[in-house]
Amino acid sequence: MRIFVTGASGWIGSAVIPELLDAGHQVLGLARSDTSAAAVAALGAEVHRGGLDDLDSLRSGAAGADGIVHLGYHHDFSQMELAAQWDRQAIEVFGNALQGSGGPLVVASGVAGMTPGRPATEQDRPDPDQHPRIANANAALELADRGVRSAVVRFAPTVHGPGDHGFVAVLVAIARERGVSGYIGDGSGRWPAVHRLDAANLVRRIVVDAPAGSVWHAIAEEGVPTREIAEAIGRGLDLPTASVPADQAAEHFGWLGQFFGMDSPATSEFTRRTLGWQPTHPALIDDLNSGAYFDVPSHGAESATG
């Protein structure tokens, strides 16, 4: 198949492209900047210039595609409404392009905060009012009625591995700055996690095998206690570990406090059983213990789907 990939130079997209190419597919990767274009080309994919806010570029990229993997998202927490609008428009463009073809449309989403108090499953359908991206994922699933083999892949909030600049790298940077590796409350809140390469392998399986209107979980670990994450960061930086009261989380962690304080366990039992997916790469704490997150100063925050 010829697959159009958004977020092609991002953290997950740059791992998905080799998975697709190695499986014999052709890949066209969306790239906004010269830097992104060079990264996509270096991976062996064809470059398509444009951005999520450029509907004409999305239409032309999707026009010759047999399938689409939509991983791109505008990750600016100060522009959540605009980001959701761009995402919804992109999904509409892709639905129109694939309508009646039976081609795959794989759309990224997440599991954070879905089902407080119990592990989220692939069968759970969260309230679309909870976050606009949930409503967009639902819109993608509804494209199954229009002859699109649509699927949603919900990623763990932590998609880790060497080179990660996401949530865990930000926690490392905060610990460096504060001189202590903190966790919120008793640290029992759980963060699901998946290695970047395992996540990419799952995306490839969804492109090939997922039926229309299906939901899948890119979850290798159901929930790593946040205290264990903080302790691993403390070991890596040779810093003490300490509890941060919930009412001080925003002050200590900044914008990340609202996410790090969540208890968001999630399972992938159905995904593994149905698609034959078995994560094989290091777990989150193993990645932290390897020292990869501490070799150079952490910088920036890039989403799992960046």
Q: What is the mean pLDDT of the chain?
A: 92
- Determine the average pLDDT of the residues in 43-62: 95
Task: Give the integer Cα–Cα distance in Å for 210 and 204.
Answer: 10
Tokens 């206690």 appear where? 225
Helix (H, G, I), strand (E, B) or coil at 151: strand
Q: What is the pLDDT of residues 162-220, one digit of tens each?
A: 999 889 999 999 999 999 999 999 999 999 999 999 999 999 999 999 999 999 999 99
Given a contact cutoff of 8 angstroms between Cβ atoms, the answer to whether 219 and 267 are in contact is yes
- Determine the average pLDDT of the residues in 265-273: 97
Q: What is the pLDDT of residues 29-52, one digit of tens each?
A: 999 999 999 999 999 999 999 999
State the CATH class of domain 161-193+222-264+282-294: alpha beta
Q: What is the DSSP string of 52-69?
A: TT-HHHHHHHHHT-SEEE
State the CATH class of domain 2-157+195-220: alpha beta
Give the strand order in the sheet containing 158-160.
Answer: 158-160, 190-195, 221-225
Residue 259: its pLDDT value, please?
Answer: 85
Q: Domain segments of the chain: what residues?
A: 2-157+195-220, 161-193+222-264+282-294
Q: What is the pLDDT of residues 241-253, one digit of tens each?
A: 999 999 999 999 9
What is the share, in percent, of the chain residues with pLDDT greater than 90?
Answer: 81
pLDDT exceeds cutoff 90 at 112: no
* pTM for this predicted structure: 0.92
Q: Is the dihedral of CA 7, 8, 14, 17 positive or negative?
A: positive
Higher pLDDT, 133 or 57: 57
Given a contact cutoff of 8 angstroms between Cβ atoms, the answer to whether 210 and 151 are in contact is yes
Task: Give the integer Cα–Cα distance in Å for 61 and 68.
Answer: 9
Tokens 């159009």 appear where? 4
Closest CA to 110 of 159, 150, 164: 159
Closest CA to 228 of 282, 173, 272, 189: 189
